[in-house]
Amino acid sequence: MNRERISYEADLFFADLMGSAVAPRRRDRAGRLHAWSEQGPEPQVAPYLVARGRWGRGFVPRPEDPDRIHAAQDVPGPRGTEVYAVLDGTVIHARPRHGFGNLVIIRHSSPDVTTAYAHLDSLSVQQGDAVRGGQVIGTMGNTAEGPDGNRGSVRANMGVHLHFSIQRVPAGWTDARIASAFSSRYEERRDIQIEPRRWLADKRVALAREPYVSERHVVAPEAWDRAGRRPPFESAPLAEEGPSYLVQHIFLGNTLQVNPVMAERLTDAERAIRAAYDALGPDHASRVHFGGGQKTLGEWADILSGRGWRPGSSTSKHASGSAVDLNYAMQPYIVTRSTVSGRTTLGGEAAGAGLVQERQHAAEVYDRAVRFTSNAPSAMSLTATMHVRASGESTSVAYRRLLRVSQAMNQYFRYALLETPTQVRRAPIANIETATEAELLAAIPLTERRGETQAVGDLDALMGTRFSGDWARAHTGWGLTPRQTYFRILRDYEHARIPWVIGPPVARPPVTRNPTRGFLHMIEPVVVALADTGRLRWGAIDFGPTSSGDVHHFDLGNHGGYTPDGSR
């Protein structure tokens, strides 16, 4: 057989990105990529999604509506860039659709999922076509109009990019029904949505044959959020090129720009995470979706976003690609409380060191949450264990004590507040402790809190004797009625929000994370693997008494022998 058409450059790029050998691939006369085999083409997985591109907005809350999810992956690139089918399948839709422009939907049989490719400039397939993984299905563009020319709600200044999404096929649905129902609301259905980066990594599909770093994000910066800032919860694409030594590294489905030393540490950590995943076995409850179906490694690890090098970070380890932030949208910079030589220090984000009173209030909230949610006889004397890593303390032990506080905050706040929205887009009320009840109710809308009557009723059931009475016996010193407790929780919510800022630390931040969700959103095997196997500092406990608390952050502790200006 003639092997001259083997696509070595694709194989080499893919192998470099994934860190492993890849079977050679060849193109047939129709330009389709196949794994080379003496017996002919085999079921095919594409080596990459697009010919040229970079990661853009991912599976994150929408800036214009944080309560909705952008359940897709955007891939910016040059107009006309080839877009490939990621697996063998059948085209069930290939024509314009309101808001999506030229849209291709492909149904795959193994597994039974659909992949969607939107905003295409041109189409290379028709409905009913059988396609192979790696076959060109169209080119990248920024179309959004439906058949009648109506763009729907999509902005006219949208840049060139591919909008790529994946869905499980609902039981009993036909191709026609899927094609007819497809919309952003359909993509957001939690019972069918699949996070694209993880899925692509699990299928060993790389993003692009060539990186793309010469343009800005697919959406004009002024449109990114209501305050005119880049959404901080995104793994935002680069607006400028970093030092030449940086490499693209895929960690649990997230593409990060890091230096080679950091890439090696992340590889070691992911190997340990996979070993923990495999050791559980396929029937372990944590590896099974609610309602059935196996979780992939990425779904089990639950790392939804990551960012490594970023511009404007010359004072941090990010500047040399020696640090990563994981699940930034959900995990804040908390207040820590450590006692060294008899002196107690409230730590946290360095730029917020002047917010002493605000940190003190936040620490008191952590204590109150731990006490309120415990039924131990000593509940009223408990304190939140928010200190830095103690001498000889293992990562696992430190993780578990922080997790208990995070879970206590979640349970405490849920008596009065809601876990949505993920971001609170208003400043905390002024004079939190002296504000009247009416002012609290007016400041905290019902989109954030539970109604007073229902919440007070539930608190009365807990705090009284209608249940077992265990709570009342353990909290004889609580001193507040159920109604007073409701307003105490509202005040504590406002206090807790201040350090959980998205943006620079200030006394009344305009955007914060939601404390009702807790602060720790990584599973123990991931944290232990990063800190112990990867030998990385965990910002939550390893930055010393004054600066620890950075839950989402891991770094080398140095620049790995590299300098932010691009030299070594």
Q: Which amino acid is at 555?
A: D
Who has greater pLDDT, 1 or 79? 79
Alpha-carbon distance of 436 to 510, in angstroms, equals: 21
Axis crossing angle, helix 395-414 with helix 482-497, rounded to the nearest 10: 130
Does 5 have pLDDT greater than 70? no
Asked whether residue 78 falls in the same domain as residue 220, the answer is: yes
Total H helices, total E strands in the chain: 13, 25
In a domain, 526, yes or no: no
Q: Residue 483, exposed/middle/buried by CB under 10 A (0-12, 13-18, 19+)? A: middle
Asked whether residue 205 falls in the same domain as residue 57, the answer is: yes
In a domain, 258, yes or no: no
Does 7 have pLDDT greater than 60? no
Q: Which amino acid is at 129?
A: D
What local confidence, expressed as pLDDT, does residue 567 receive?
Answer: 63
305-320 burial, b if ≥16 CB within 10 A, otherwise e? bbbbbbeebeeebbbb
Asked whether residue 366 falls in the same domain as residue 489, the answer is: yes
pLDDT confidence tier of residue 295, bands split at 50, 70 and 90: confident
What local confidence, expressed as pLDDT, does residue 510 receive?
Answer: 94
Q: Residue 366: name the closest of 342, 344, 385 by CA.
A: 385
What local confidence, expressed as pLDDT, does residue 29 receive?
Answer: 35
Q: Which amino acid is at 107?
A: R
3-class state of residue 316 by DSSP: coil
In a domain, 142, yes or no: yes
Q: How many CB atoms lie within 10 A of CB 439?
A: 14
- Percent share of the chain, pLDDT over 90: 61
In a domain, 248, yes or no: no
- Give me the CATH number covering residue 163: 2.70.70.10
pLDDT confidence tier of residue 204, bands split at 50, 70 and 90: confident
User: Which whole number is the average pLDDT over 300-320?
Assistant: 84
- With beta carbons less than 8 A apart as the criterion, state whether 100 and 187 touch: no
pLDDT digits (tens, 9 = 90+) for 177-187: 999 999 998 99
360, 362, 366, 371: CA torsion to nearest 10: 70
Does 2 have pLDDT greater than 60? no
Domain boundary among 186, 211, 232: 232
Alpha-carbon distance of 484 to 490, in angstroms, equals: 10
Token pair belonging to 558: 């140095």
Domain boundary among 197, 232, 267: 232
Cα dihedral sign for 343, 349, 350, 356? negative
What local confidence, expressed as pLDDT, does residue 456 receive?
Answer: 96
Token pair belonging to 492: 């504590």
3-class state of residue 11 by DSSP: helix
Does 416 have pLDDT greater than 80? yes
Cis peptide before 421 (omega within 30 of 0): yes
What local confidence, expressed as pLDDT, does residue 57 receive?
Answer: 80
Query: DSSP assignment, residue 460?
Result: H
Alpha-carbon distance of 447 to 542, in angstroms, equals: 36
Alpha-carbon distance of 540 to 515, in angstroms, equals: 16
Does 9 have pLDDT greater than 80? no
Does 285 have pLDDT greater than 70? yes
pLDDT digits (tens, 9 = 90+) for 124-154: 999 999 999 999 999 999 888 877 666 655 6
What local confidence, expressed as pLDDT, does residue 409 receive?
Answer: 98
User: Which whole number is the average pLDDT over 313-332?
Assistant: 88
In a domain, 431, yes or no: yes
Phi, psi of 67 (to 5 degrees): -80, -5
Between 219-233, 251-265, 304-318, 384-398, the lowest mean confidence (pLDDT) is in: 219-233
What local confidence, expressed as pLDDT, does residue 61 receive?
Answer: 66
Structural domain containing residue 484 = 336-345+358-520
In a domain, 218, yes or no: yes
Q: How many domains does the chain have?
A: 2
Cis peptide before 111 (omega within 30 of 0): yes
What local confidence, expressed as pLDDT, does residue 14 receive?
Answer: 34
3-state secondary structure 185-202: HHHCCCCCEECHHHHHHH
Asked whether residue 363 falls in the same domain as residue 509, the answer is: yes
Token pair belonging to 328: 């930034």
What local confidence, expressed as pLDDT, does residue 25 receive?
Answer: 41
- With beta carbons less than 8 A apart as the criterion, state whether 137 and 129 touch: no
Asked whether residue 82 falls in the same domain as residue 208, the answer is: yes
pLDDT confidence tier of residue 219, bands split at 50, 70 and 90: very low
In a domain, 270, yes or no: no
Does 348 have pLDDT greater than 90? yes
pLDDT digits (tens, 9 = 90+) for 441-478: 999 999 999 999 999 999 999 998 555 578 998 999 99
Mean pLDDT of the chain: 84
pLDDT digits (tens, 9 = 90+) for 489-538: 999 999 999 999 988 899 999 999 999 999 999 999 999 999 999 999 99
Residue 146 CB partners (closer than 8 Å, separation 6+): 96, 97, 98, 99, 152
What local confidence, expressed as pLDDT, does residue 64 receive?
Answer: 59
Q: How many CB atoms lie within 10 A of CB 299?
A: 18
User: Which whole number is the average pLDDT over 281-296?
Assistant: 87
Placement of tokens 């939550």 in the chain: 540
Alpha-carbon distance of 18 to 204, in angstroms, equals: 7
pLDDT digits (tens, 9 = 90+) for 23-61: 334 444 344 444 333 344 555 888 999 999 988 888 776
In a domain, 532, yes or no: no
What local confidence, expressed as pLDDT, does residue 231 receive?
Answer: 35
Alpha-carbon distance of 119 to 371, in angstroms, equals: 53
Asked whether residue 228 falls in the same domain as residue 340, the answer is: no
Domain boundary among 502, 520, 538: 520
Does 405 have pLDDT greater than 70? yes
> How far from 470 is each of 375, 384, 407, 409, 463, CA to CA, in Å?
6, 21, 20, 20, 9
